[in-house]
Amino acid sequence: MVLKSTPGTAVFRRDMLFDIPYLADWKAIGQRRQEVVDQNTTRENTRRVDFDYCVNQKIMLQKDSIFCKVVDRYE
């Protein structure tokens, strides 16, 4: 949870259940959101596999044509 409040509370600056004011610390909210993005990026990047292509190595080329289910997409 990034906001730690409901979206309505943050937008209208009032608590939705009780009639009390709510002051959102937008700088802290932005920092928490950035931390979550950084954690997700780090987690996804750990799954990547480094690969170096070599000369005479076989590769697959994608065809530039209309695809249907029975036609190969790659050469």
DSSP class per residue in 57-75: -----B--S---TTS-SB-
- What is the number of domains present in the chain? 1
Separation CA 29–CA 17 (nearest Å) = 21
pLDDT in tens, 22-73: 777 888 888 999 999 999 999 999 999 888 888 888 888 877 777 676 677 7
- Residue 14 pLDDT: 78
- Residue 13 pLDDT: 75
Q: Are residues 74 and 63 in contact, defined by beta-carbon separation less than 8 angstroms?
A: yes
- Residue 8 pLDDT: 77
What pTM value is reported for the model?
Answer: 0.49
Residue numbers of the domain that contains 4: 1-75
- Residue 25 pLDDT: 80
Q: Are residues 29 and 2 in contact, defined by beta-carbon separation less than 8 angstroms?
A: yes
Place of tokens 């409040």: 5
Question: Mean pLDDT throughout 8-26?
Answer: 77
